[in-house]
Amino acid sequence: MSIDADLPFTRDEYADRLRRLRAAMASADVSVAVLTAPDTMAWLTGYRSRWYRQHTSTSMPPAQCVVLHVEEGAPFLIEAGYHEELARTTTVLDDIRTLSTTDETRESTLGEYVAFLAEQLRPWAGSRVGMERWSCIPSPAVADVVDEMLDGLGCRVVDVTLPFRGVRRLKSPAEIGKIEAAQRAADAGIRAILSEATPETTELEAWGLYSLGMVRAGGEPAVLHETVAAGSSVSALHRLSGHTRLGSGPVVHPDMASAVDGYHARATRPLMFGAPSAEHMREVAVAAEAYEILAEHGRVGEPWRVLLDALRRHFADSGVDGSGAGGYELGLSVAPTDWVGEFCWSLGDDRDDVIEAGLVTNFESWNSLILVDTVVFEQDGPRFLSSLPREILEFS
């Protein structure tokens, strides 16, 4: 029996998620689903681990998944025998089926795992089986063997990545509460950098300051490495923090995220030692004004194109080269993945859909400086979560 105290959400919330996922299965004409994406397993059951065997030795294939039928019974988790306690204390599921060939000294082989999975699926031979083809787990080598097994059972594999991610796009009040807590932690981490870093502090040391401040405020590390980048190149925000000193360039960008129970929020602000130049003040003002446009035009029920057209006009009129804006879904993600959800939006979109209540994304507005915040789209209008000023922040 699983322990409620270790679950991020109530059993009622998980029951509602199961209902919604089964509705998505029915719409996709799928009878059985084999869930392997860590974020999908966590969303449906609460199960999270730090080792999914994503990139291990070929003698240690991925050996965990959640299986559910569109109508029959309760979902069940397949896992290695030595992970049974982990599974029972981190998941809402009561049915944990462990591979009998595994223990603390022995991993299952690929053949043993696939044979065990086949036995669990045999009652549904001939069914349409949903698999998450865009998941990083299992690897192509393992997926090929699983496909061959399913073919032998007379099953047809259907990619359910989009319908399953779509079920998670709009967040419940409880999920938004997790994201709000993650935002407070991210803000606290950036404030820790501002208050303690010096020009001699390295990017990695600043990352350490952020991490400690963020954790002390109740956060946990994001699935993607949070970077601190000294210099004015926005593309540098996709590199790892290094030993460059913060005082080596005109600006420092801590490109940060924090999570609470796997639910992510984002925050980035340009930081400087000393007073910013007039040009930097102009650039950050243009980036900040984009938030006012989002607040005005990002209304629930309005077409996305109205907001995007307003942002395009703003940046075109600003005269600041290299300006842009966009966002992507925020919410639950689990390492080793490096992304959250499916939904993305940007100035280059040509779309006819409308803004929906319960959608949570980041909002990035940039030129040579970048501002990033978390926005919740609500009936009363978009709500930004970060308490950090949308301006250049000076180190203490």
Residue-wise pLDDT tens digits, 80-101: 888 888 889 999 999 999 998 7
Residues 6+ apart with CB under 8 A from 106: none
Give the pLDDT band (50/70/90) at residue 108. Answer: confident
Q: For residue 285, count other CB atoms closer than 10 A to its CB.
A: 15
> Given strand 32-35, what is the order of strands in its sheet?
96-99, 76-80, 65-69, 32-35, 128-131, 156-159
Q: At which residue do the structure tokens 């309760």 appear?
A: 74
Residue 190 confidence (pLDDT) above 50: yes
* Token pair for 387: 């308490």
| Percent residues over pLDDT 90 in the chain | 83
Given a contact cutoff of 8 angstroms between Cβ atoms, the answer to whether 360 and 170 are in contact is no
What DSSP element (H or E) covers 21?
A: helix 11-27
How far apart, in Å, are the Cα atoms of 384 and each of 21, 104, 304, 330? 29, 47, 18, 13
Q: What is the pLDDT of residue 290?
A: 98
Q: What is the pLDDT of residue 233?
A: 65
Residues 6+ apart with CB under 8 A from 71: 22
Residue 296 confidence (pLDDT) above 90: yes
Query: For the domain 173-394, what is the CATH code?
Result: 3.90.230.10
Where does the chain hold its CATH 3.90.230.10 domain(s)? Answer: 173-394
Q: What is the pLDDT of residue 55?
A: 84
Residue 39 confidence (pLDDT) above 80: yes
Where does the chain hold its CATH 3.40.350.10 domain(s)? Answer: 4-167
Residue 4 confidence (pLDDT) above 60: no
* Token pair for 30: 């799928």
Give the pLDDT band (50/70/90) at residue 357. Answer: very high
Amino acid at 215: V
Q: Are strands 96-99 and 76-80 parallel, antiparallel or unpaired?
A: parallel
The mean of the pLDDT values for the chain is 94
CATH, domain 4-167, list 3.20.10.10, 3.30.365.10, 3.40.50.970, 3.40.350.10: 3.40.350.10
What DSSP element (H or E) covers 213?
A: helix 203-216
Mean pLDDT of 218-244: 87
Q: What is the pLDDT of residue 7?
A: 92
The closest of 79, 161, 160 to 117, measured between CA atoms, is 79
* Token pair for 96: 């944990």
Residue 2 confidence (pLDDT) above 60: no
Given a contact cutoff of 8 angstroms between Cβ atoms, the answer to whether 96 and 77 are in contact is yes
Q: What is the pLDDT of residue 149?
A: 97
| Percent residues over pLDDT 70 in the chain | 97
Between CA 369 and CA 123 the distance in angstroms is 58
Residue-wise pLDDT for 317-350, tens only, equals 999 999 999 999 999 999 888 889 899 999 999 9
Q: At which residue do the structure tokens 């004004």 appear?
A: 289
Tell me the residue length of the chain. 396
Given a contact cutoff of 8 angstroms between Cβ atoms, the answer to whether 290 and 365 are in contact is yes
Q: What is the pLDDT of residue 232?
A: 65
Between CA 213 and CA 256 the distance in angstroms is 12
Amino acid at 181: A
Q: Given phi > 0 = left and psi -120 to 50 = alpha, else beta, which region is 345?
A: beta
Report the helix count and the strand count for the chain, using DSSP H and E. 10, 16
Q: At which residue do the structure tokens 């063997």 appear?
A: 145
Bridge partners of 354?
303
Q: What is the pLDDT of residue 74?
A: 96
